[in-house]
Amino acid sequence: MFKKIILSLVAIATFLTASSEMPYPADWKNYKNATTVLTGIGALPGCDADVSSFPKIYQETVATYCAIKPGGPGAVAVLVDEKSMPAFKKRDGKFADGATLILHLKDIKALFVTQYKGGKPLYGAYSEDGKDISAPKGSGLNPQDCRVCHTGYSAFCLNGQCSTHK
């Protein structure tokens, strides 16, 4: 009985204290800037922008990031570890274990990280200095929130890699 109580408490604590699914990429400043439609723009639209004509994935992305930072997240960069850049450019969602992609929200100093293990994406959110900033489900900062968006828009995302080109 005591063991069941302890296991239940551990499960509840794990649920309440969400965390990233992979370690902080301490070498992220050495990653290469990737060219994407988003990086061509340089920033996500502000929260007051009319994005109703944009594809649903972009509308939801703006809404998610506006919930994280009122006014909008501002300047962005897409960073890719050098060994993964050829796979990134193929836009087919096929990455070797350890491959790391980062959406760097520069103005709020946050890193939204995708890392691959067993061919599957794992997600996390960190501050630039390495603090895990993942939060409970529904916050926009939870790995499951990332997974829902990255798998829910098959016209734009393939195995965790979102892009307008496949």
78 vs 145, higher pLDDT: 78
Does the pLDDT value for residue 136 go beyond 80? Answer: no
Give the 3-state secondary structure of residue 40: helix
Q: How many domains does the chain have?
A: 1
Q: What is the pLDDT of residues 38-74, one digit of tens each?
A: 777 777 778 888 888 887 877 887 887 787 777 777 8
Give the residue numbers spanning the domain of 64: 2-162
Residue 165: the pLDDT is: 56
| Most confident by average pLDDT, 14-18, 57-61, 99-103, 135-139 | 99-103
Sign of CA dihedral 95, 114, 142, 25: positive
Residue 8: the pLDDT is: 36
* Site of tokens 């489900």: 137
Residue 114: the pLDDT is: 93
CA pair distance 56, 160, nearest whole angstrom? 17
Residue 138: the pLDDT is: 65
CA atoms within 13 A on the CB side of 141: 21
Measure Cα distances from 26 to 30, 126, 134 in Å.
9, 10, 17
Beta-carbon count within 10 A of 2 CB: 6
Say how many Å lie between the first and final Cα of the chain, rounded. 52
94 vs 135, higher pLDDT: 94
